[in-house]
Amino acid sequence: MTEAKFIPLTNYHEYPLDVMQTRARSFYEDLRRRRTVRDFSDRPVPRKIIADCIRAAATAPNGANTQPWHFVVVADQVIKRQIRMAAEEEEREFYETRAPEEWLEALAPLGTDWSKPFLETAPYLIAIFAESYSLTKSGQRVKNYYVKESVGIATGMLIAAVHNAGLVSLTHTPSPMNFLNEILDRPGNEKPFLLLVVGYPAEDATVPEITKKPLETITTFL
Ligand code: IYR
């Protein structure tokens, strides 16, 4: 049993209440500018920026600090093409056959379809994998906890970090996406969680005119 060892909480900052209010508001104002974008520019983005965004994501709270995630950053044009081909095959099947009418109706306001050119245009595809269990150096399985919650939180933080850096992203979830294990050569304990497309928006990018639910409808203060 590894014993807990405690250190002082030296990095915490308490702000005066007026500063706290300004910070809370300005963080919200900044995050609400974020839009999911599907029209990407092919302008390059330095890899260091993506690395720092992933460092930020990996600070996420997670089950028993097992950090059950792996990020594969794809910039290689050949691999991006392979991912596009495999994703479009699944998506075509989804939109043309598998998706129930009700689901297609829910997606209609977003204007999505099976065609995913951005998977080749955008400078980076970040494939996020969730480790259902980890393996020690000797190959023993180690259980991970709250894997989906942990990876979901890290992904949210990654999306915020990318936005904060001044880039845009798209959360892409081709289903099923097991093809990512094969193309990216990831082991069986890693399940593909989400494909985050990252880059600059195309100059003529458009986004669907949709709104967020107001606070009163999503929150109960007791
Ligand atoms: N994976 C498909 C369909 C799709 C599903 C949901 I739920 C969305 O919010 C958006 C799209 C696609 O990426 O087109």
Q: Is 109 helix (H, G, I), strand (E, B) or coil?
A: helix
Confidence of residue 192 (pLDDT cuts 50, 70, 90): very high
pLDDT at 2: 87
107 touches ligand 1 (CB under 6 Å): yes
Q: Where are the beta strands (DSSP E) in 51-135?
A: 69-74, 124-131, 133-135
User: What is the CA angle 86-81-69, rounded to 5?
Assistant: 70
Distance 27 CA to ligand 1 centre (A): 27
- Identify which has the larger pLDDT, 102 or 1: 102
CATH says 35-203 is which class? alpha beta
- Give the integer Cα–Cα distance in Å for 48 and 132: 28
- Give the integer Cα–Cα distance in Å for 29 and 92: 37
Q: Where are the beta strands (DSSP E) in 101-156?
A: 124-131, 133-135, 141-143
- Can you give the pTM of this predicted structure? 0.96
Mean pLDDT, residues 189-215 taken together: 97
Distance 193 CA to ligand 1 centre (A): 14
Mean pLDDT, residues 101-127 taken together: 97
36, HSE (Cβ side, Cα atoms, 13 Å): 14
pLDDT tens across 40-63, in order?
A: 999 999 999 999 999 999 999 999
The rounded percent of the chain whose pLDDT value lies above 90 is 96
Atom of ligand 1 nearest to the CA of 175: 1
